[in-house]
Amino acid sequence: MTDDWREGSERLAPFLSARGRKIRMPEGIRVWGERAARAGGIDATMGVIRGPGALFDAAGDAETIAYLPGVREAFAAWTPNEVFPYAPVAGVGVFRERWRAWMAGKRTGGTGEEGADPGSLTLPVATAGVTGALCAVGLLVTGPDDPVLVPDRRWDGYDTTLGAVCGARLEPVRLLERGAWAIEAWAGAMRKAARRQGRVVCVINFPHNPTGYVPTAREVEAFAETAVEVAETTGAAVVILCDDAYEGYVYTDRPRSSPFHRLVDRHPRVLPIKCDGITKELLFWGGRLGAATTAFPESWGSGGRGSAETVWENKMSAVVRGTISSASTSVQVLVARLLSEPGALVEARRPVLDLLAERRDALVAALGTSAARAAFEPDPFHGGLFALLNLRRGDAVATAERLLTERRIGVVPFRDDSIGLNALRVTYATVPTDRIAEVVAAAASIV
């Protein structure tokens, strides 16, 4: 064990579960294969086939990675090494560098807001979608039956990924209080977790799924101050997983950038971890490429931060290697190429944001009718793709069933009697603008 590894491990230990502290990337095939590739000589490490180009319908006899000509034709403009080899476990280098720059310096939605300084962020580790990022991080910071604070209204993937797969115990915390982020509820839950186990793990997700809620800048700052206060007064390590699947999808004057950026370097015992990806951000649903990024405090010094990043990447790589092996090479290369012109990506996405803003406004108008007001009490929604309509009467599951069978309109019921949740999630992103009022009127007539 080197001194750097020892220092990095000691820095990270308070934030990790027992499993996370134990995990380490083995000095196995993939590690030696990546070292051999960097050395540039003869590589007799990996289970990858190479041979003369003529064997694979290419010009000349130079050695190349093996491929099928039909697949090669689909990527005619690319070199074989941009398509066929395994990606490094942590991700293709150019993708990681450009994703970090995109995260840190992008003009979110064209608003001029900037993220954190790129130099303060670790290189992202590539994963299989945002879910893969959440799972990989979850396996490091949670252990069996560890409490994880999540919003009471939440994406059910947390129950599967963090609960069923990682083994954590999800503890719901009230998301909203009188139409605002319930900061005091989160403060109380964080203090309780800190006193109970000396470590706090929580998940925040804005724009929020399923409500579409986006906090104000003041609320984000209050949450950050709460995390600092809990870390300072209890001595606990505070881990904040920022699920940023919908970052930038904001249609009002609320902040468009993730709370992650406001949490960076706030306290030596507060560790924000950003989980995001190309699914919504670049409208690449089937690309299944995500990333996990964190930032270590300046007070650790350049040496401490560097050693911590080495250990962090090693542990994340061990999880990636043990689950998906590595993310898609060709998708990472493609995205890296696109990210070479981030301004063009922002402009290309603008018509989609404009369309979603139009549909969100149409939903607001539809919910303003007397019939809708009598049937629903919607949670505030400012972004994302959804709205959550709390029912004033009737049963959400029964209403969703009738809407589907009688009107052929699909919505998702959210029902949890323990927290008084009885609502329908409406995804306006998938409904033509001129049919949104029809969806609301049909649901109101059934409730």
In the chain, where are the structural domains located? 93-340, 345-446
Quote the CA–CA distance of 5 and 307 in Å, as a whole number: 6
From first CA to last CA, the distance across the chain in angstroms is: 64
Q: What is the mean pLDDT of residues 163-171?
A: 97
Note the pLDDT of residue 111. Answer: 40
| Contact (Cβ atoms closer than 8 angstroms) between residue 173 and residue 227 | no
Per-position DSSP letters for 257-325, written without gaps between them: S-THHHHTTS-TTEEEEEEEEHHHHTS-GGG--EEEEEB--GGGHHHHHHHHHHHHHHHHHHHHHHHTS
pLDDT at position 13 over 70: yes
8 Å CB contact between 213 and 175:
yes
pLDDT tops 70 at residue 80: yes
Q: Is the pLDDT of residue 153 over 60?
A: yes
Q: What is the pLDDT of residue 28?
A: 80
Residue 10 pLDDT exceeds 70: yes
State residue 266's pLDDT score: 95
427 sits in which H/E element: strand 421-427
The total of other beta-carbon atoms located within 10 Å of residue 175's CB is: 24
**Distance between CA 198 and CA 242 in Å, rounded?**
21
Mean pLDDT computed over every residue of the chain: 92
- How buried is residue 22: exposed, middle or buried, by Cβ count under 10 Å (0-12/13-18/19+)? exposed
Per-residue pLDDT band at 108 (split at 50, 70, 90): very low
DSSP 347: H
Question: pLDDT value at position 116?
Answer: 64
Q: Is the pLDDT of residue 216 over 80?
A: yes
pLDDT for 175: 98
pLDDT at 109: 38
Examine the pLDDT at 230 and tell me if it is beyond 70.
yes
Tens digit of each residue's pLDDT (9 = 90 or more) over 307-354: 999 999 999 999 999 999 999 999 999 999 999 998 888 888 899 999
- Please give the Cα distance from 334 to 138 (Å, whole number): 28
* Per-residue pLDDT, 349: 86
Residues 187-210: tens digit of each pLDDT: 999 999 999 999 999 999 999 999
50 has a pLDDT exceeding 70: yes
Of all residues in the chain, the percent with pLDDT exceeding 90 is 80
Token digits of residue 284 = 């690449």
Q: Looking at residues 3-13, what average pLDDT do you find?
A: 95
- pLDDT value at 252 more than 70: yes
Q: How far apart are CA 100 and CA 121, in angstroms?
A: 7
pLDDT digits 0-9 by tens, 372-422: 999 999 999 999 999 999 999 999 999 999 999 999 999 999 999 999 999
- Local structure of 57: helix, strand or coil: coil
Tell me the pLDDT band of 115, cut-offs 50, 70 and 90.
low
Helix (H) or strand (E) holding 180: strand 180-181
- Give the pairing type, strands 386-391 and 376-378: antiparallel
For 222-246, what is the mean pLDDT? 98
Q: Give the whole-angstrom CA distance, residue 346 versus residue 168.
A: 37
pTM of the model: 0.93
pLDDT attached to residue 41? 78
Which pair of tokens denotes residue 44?
């007799």
Residue 43 predicted with pLDDT over 90: no
What is the dihedral angle through the alpha carbons of 330, 334, 337, 341, rounded to the nearest 10 degrees? -160
pLDDT of residue 1: 72
Tell the CATH topology of 345-446.
Answer: Aspartate Aminotransferase, domain 1 (3.90.1150)
In DSSP terms, 102 is beta-bridged to: none
Tell me the mean pLDDT in the region 155-167. Answer: 96
> What was the pLDDT predicted at 424?
96
The pair phi, psi for residue 202, each rounded to 5°, is: -140, 160
Beta sheet of 270-277, edge-to-edge order:
125-127, 290-294, 270-277, 237-243, 199-204, 147-151, 169-173
Of the two residues 262 and 69, the one the predictor is more confident about is: 262
For 254-287, how does the pLDDT look when each residue is reduced to its tens digit (9 = 90+)? 999 999 999 999 999 999 999 999 999 999 988 9
* pLDDT at residue 110 in the model: 40
Q: Which residue has the higher pLDDT, 29 or 126?
A: 126
Fold of the 93-340 domain = Aspartate Aminotransferase; domain 2 (3.40.640)
Overall average pLDDT of the 286-306 stretch: 95
Cα–Cα dist 396/414, whole Å: 7
Crossing angle of the two packed helices 93-105 and 329-338, in degrees rounded to 10: 40
